[in-house]
Structure formats: structure tokens, C-alpha cells
Homo-oligomer: A and B are copies of this chain.
């Protein structure tokens, strides 16, 4: 089985740990290694290194080569980010170029999986279904009325595949409000859309041809020069003229292709903020629910996350619900409930020309 690992995204929400040059997918924020490396490693042994295709932003190529220096994963650099549909299309033609005719898993590089073995079992089942045609998606079984994710609704059509029960998809729906999210959770008919798809390259490309014909033309141009010297300049030219669009919005919300969802209770999280990372790491917390890394000293603190990444002592006294991230050139101190607003800081730094801190 092949895998396309999508490594785009600027990850401003993890500032100051994440920067333009080292967005979230390259950080070791879970304590298990850089997220992209963890994402690749958990695919073993279902996917071999030489069956993995990393699609990266050109500016991150060096970082990725350093991380994977002695491993024979494939790497493709997007000259500019154009969202997931072009990325998936590029991955699909490259997998086809490598001789893949079976299922390819398309997955984001910066997600967390709490139960890797369940994840692998579900992905294997999805791959077996996708080998026979159609698009298979992993549906994350929801555990709270989350308003930050899109949802996948199953219809009644149950499909049995070995130990796994899958369902036909009725629709992909956008982020709901809280009341709707509660209804989704209670109904048992909805899954979180984790952005993980499995399909054969030709299935993907056929769908792109139908719903995003301009993208398809570009991909065909690229396909013709894959492996030649002309690929890089052609890639620049094609990407320069593409419109950014997500695979969900461009394809999945329209497709009449068989779409199947495999429910997965794999402990998935998109780790979308420091607050969600704190939640993930709460099993490591002390009696007062503090999580800390590095050299820290916490006195009378509760529900706080303290990340010391500068080698300095971080001493905290009487804090509640605090988020502290210390790096060599920038320090963040925030209320944990405001961790979604860190983008404001990055925007201000950008506006004031402090590029070295971005």
C-alpha cells in the first residue's frame, strides 16, 4: 500500500514553537518525535518507506531531508500551497508513476493518533476496500460535540469487510454549531472528518477530471514530464496557475462515486491548538493537572501547560489555566482559553515587520 503524506500548512497556532520554517508538522510537540516522522512511522509495516510520498512546501524541503536523511521515502515540493485537492492530485500521479495501481492512503502529516495499532487495522481495511474501487474515508467516532471539525454522515448501507463494519456515506457536512454538533453526537450517524482518504490513483484522477477539470489538465501536463528534468519548471508553471481548493470541498461534497466510511476509534486529534495538545497530554499531568516540559518549577499552579524550550528555568507561581511557551527568541504567556487567538500575535508581528520571529 502506498501513502501520500500531506505536509503543507503554516501552523501559526503553535507559535512561538512553530515558525514559518518549522511549522507544526516538523515539531516534536507530543514528545514522540516530529509529527511528520511519527505519521510515517505509524504506517509501518502496512506501508514501506519507499511507498511513502511526502508532499511538502518547497521552503520545508531542507528540514524534511534532515529528518529523513537515511530513509528512502519520496519527497515532492509544492512551489506554493494550493490546499489539499492539488496536493492529493500530485500525490496520485506520483504514486501512479511509481507503479502503484492499488490503494493509496492520503493523510495529513500533523495529526495525532493515540492508538496506532487500531488506526493501522482500520487503514488496512480501508485499503482493501479501496483496492476494489471507490473512495474510502476514515470516520473518527466522535467523543464530544466538537464544532471545530467537519462531519461525515453515514447512510443505512452497512458493508462488512472481515472484522470491520463500514458504511456508505450519505454526505460530507461542514463545521456545525454547538446544538447541531450535540445532535450529531447523540444520533450515532456522524463521524469526524479527519481528512484521511484511501483510493486508487485512477479513482482520484477520474474524480478530479470530473469536478476540477483545470486541475486535471495541469496534472496531466505534470504526469507527462515526471522523472524528467522538465518536471520542476513545469510544476512551478502549473501550480502558479492553479486555484487553491480543498479535496473535501472540490470533490467529496459532489462526488457520485461510491464513498465508504470506515469508523475508527483510533484516538485521533488534529492537535489544532495548544489547548488541544494540553488535553492530549493530560494523562502526563500532575495532581493539579499541570503538564510541563523542560526545566520548570511550578508552585500553586493548576490546569496549566508550561513548555520550557530555551534551556532557562521557568518558574510559575499561583497560575490557573495558563499556557507558557518559552523559546530562545520569543516567549508566549497566555490564558489557555485564548489559544485559538495566537494567530493575532503572529498577524501583529507580521504587520510590524518582525520577520525573524515568524
Asked if B317 contacts A331 (CB within 8 A), the reply is no
Structural contact, A345 and B314, CB atoms closer than 8 A = no
Interface presence of A297 (CB below 8 A): yes
A329 within 8 A of B: yes
Q: Which of B345, B354, B357 interacts with A317 by CB under 8 Å? A: B345
Residue A330, interface by CB 8 Å: yes
Return chain B residues, CB-CB under 8 Å to A330.
312-315
- The closest CB in chain B to the CB of A328 belongs to B312
In the complex the two chains form, is A338's CB within 8 Å of B312's CB? no
B residues less than 8 Å from A328 (CB atoms)? 312
Query: Which chain B residues border A329 with CB–CB below 8 Å?
Result: 312-313
Chain B residues positioned under 8 Å from A341 (CB to CB)? 299-300, 317-318
Contact partner, A331, options B315, B320, B345, B354, Cβ 8 Å: B315
A338 to B134, CA, bound (A): 61
Q: Number of contact residues on A: which range applies?
A: 20 to 34
Residue in B313, B315, B331, B344 whose beta carbon sits within 8 Å of that of A312 in the complex? B331
- Among the listed B318, B334, B348, which residue makes an inter-chain contact with A318, where contact means beta carbons less than 8 Å apart? B334
A342 within 8 A of B: yes
Whether a CB of chain B sits under 8 angstroms from the CB of A335 is: yes
Other 13 A-B pairs with CB < 8 A, given A299-B345, A317-B335, A318-B341: A297-B348, A299-B341, A312-B329, A313-B329, A313-B330, A315-B331, A316-B334, A317-B338, A317-B344, A318-B337, A319-B333, A322-B333, A331-B331
Complex interface bits, A288-321 against B, C-beta within 8 A gives 1, otherwise 0:
0000000001011000000000001111111110
Residue from B297, B319, B348 in contact with A335 in the complex, judged by beta carbons closer than 8 Å: B319
Give Cα A332–Cα B333 distance, bound, in whole angstroms: 11
- Cβ of A348: which chain B residues have Cβ within 8 Å of it? 297, 299
Question: A300 and B338: CB pair below 8 A?
Answer: yes
Q: A342 contacts which chain B residues (CB < 8 A)?
A: 317
Q: Is the CB of A297 within 8 A of B345?
A: yes
Nearest 7 interchain pairs by C-beta: A318-B335, A318-B338, A317-B334, A313-B330, A315-B345, A314-B331, A316-B333
A91 located at the interface, meaning its Cβ lies under 8 Å from any Cβ of chain B in the complex = no
Q: Let me know if A16 is at the binding interface, CB within 8 A.
A: yes
Please give, as numbers and ranges, the residues of chain B lying within 8 Å of A331 by CB-CB distance.
312-315, 326, 331
The answer, yes or no, to whether A349 is at the interface (CB within 8 Å) is yes
Residues of B within 8 A of A334 (CB): 315-319
Which residues of chain B are within 8 angstroms of A318 by Cβ–Cβ distance?
334-335, 337-338, 341
The verdict on A141 contacting chain B, using a C-beta distance below 8 Å, is no
Q: A169 in the interface, Cβ–Cβ < 8 Å?
A: no
Q: Which residues of B contact A315 (CB under 8 A)?
A: 16, 330-334, 345
Q: Is the CB of A333 within 8 A of B314?
A: yes
A36 within 8 A of B: no
